Amino acid sequence: MNNSLVSIIVPCYNQVQYLNEALQSVLEQTYIRWECIIVDDGSPDNTQAVAKQWVEKDSRFVYLKKENGGLSSARNYGIEHATGEFILPLDADDKIAANYVALAVQSFQEDTSLKVVYCKADRFGDVTGIWQLQPFSLLNLCSNNMIFCSAMFRKRDWKLVGGYDVKMLYGWEDWEFWIAILKNGGGVKCLDEVGFYYRIKSSSMVKQLNEEKRMYLLEYMSIKHVDFFIRQLGSFTQLNETLEQTRKKHVENLKSEKFVIDAFCTIFFGFSIFGLYKNKKQ
């Protein structure tokens, strides 16, 4: 396993100003059995010139160019050409810690049931500090993606699910991908140290999501992975019943004079009258 080749996939479209930092973080890896495939997704800037400098610097860097097709298409193109057992996507504006690849490979060696290994993350750029992510569970994955794109997985698992879905046109392609490869089993490990650095910018694909695009993505994922959502959340009838029970409970609570007074005091004064009364009796 320590001799396993890791293919690091770096798609680039109009991000050339950050590319050197990303590739420098790859070059500094303590794990030396890697190849780094830079995918120029028809970028109109000078991505090609910068990428070729790295190819000349170290033969482990590979440069590929394709017509623009979006992030999912670019990642798939790079992975198709990858020869490594393990895949690590890295966006051209992000960075990884020097020991990230080594620790991830070691984790797969120690636990063969793992399908995904990721780590703690730090933010840099317009916002700095630890990126607080929700702990992983399949249930949590239903409502939110806590695994960023730069997590390691096996190429064979990518192939089994058909790769990144190119119909995820507006983003969240990594969220859909994690659901696809994890919904039928397999372990996930989060390394207990910062290994990924996520650049925060004033403008990004995620920030450009409007309500119409969000609804398209959510509806598409809900239909494609309806089996996963039902297993984790229950049937639509069960969800309806739960919502109705919750609604009735709120209606009953609002009819209670004590509940209304207590809620008012808690919200506006920061204490609960009935909590104080209970403590006084004790």
Same domain, 166 and 242: no
Q: Does residue 213 lie in a domain region? A: no
- Residue pLDDT, tens place only, 62-100: 999 999 999 999 999 999 999 999 999 999 999 999 999
- Residue pLDDT, tens place only, 267-278: 555 555 445 444
Q: What is the domain count for the chain?
A: 2
Q: How many DSSP H helices and E strands does the chain contain?
A: 12, 9
Q: Does residue 223 lie in a domain region? A: no
Q: Give the strand order in the sheet containing 129-130.
A: 95-96, 187-200, 114-125, 129-130
pLDDT for position 277: 45
The pTM score is 0.82
Q: Which of 158, 180, 202 is the last residue of a domain?
A: 202
Q: Is 15 exposed, middle or buried (0-12, 13-18, 19+ CB in 10 A)?
A: buried
Query: What mean pLDDT comes out for the span 159-181?
Result: 95
Instruction: Give CA–CA dist 119/152, Å, rounded.
Output: 10
Q: Which of 147, 179, 202 is the last residue of a domain?
A: 202
Same domain, 11 and 85: yes
pLDDT for position 3: 86
Here the CATH number for the domain that contains residue 132 is 3.90.550.10
Segments forming the whole domain that contains residue 264: 236-281
Beta strands in 138-179 (DSSP E): 153-154
Same domain, 89 and 133: yes
Same domain, 242 and 128: no
Question: Where residue 204 falls among pLDDT bands split at 50, 70, 90?
Answer: low
User: Cα(first)–Cα(last) distance of the chain, in Å?
Assistant: 61
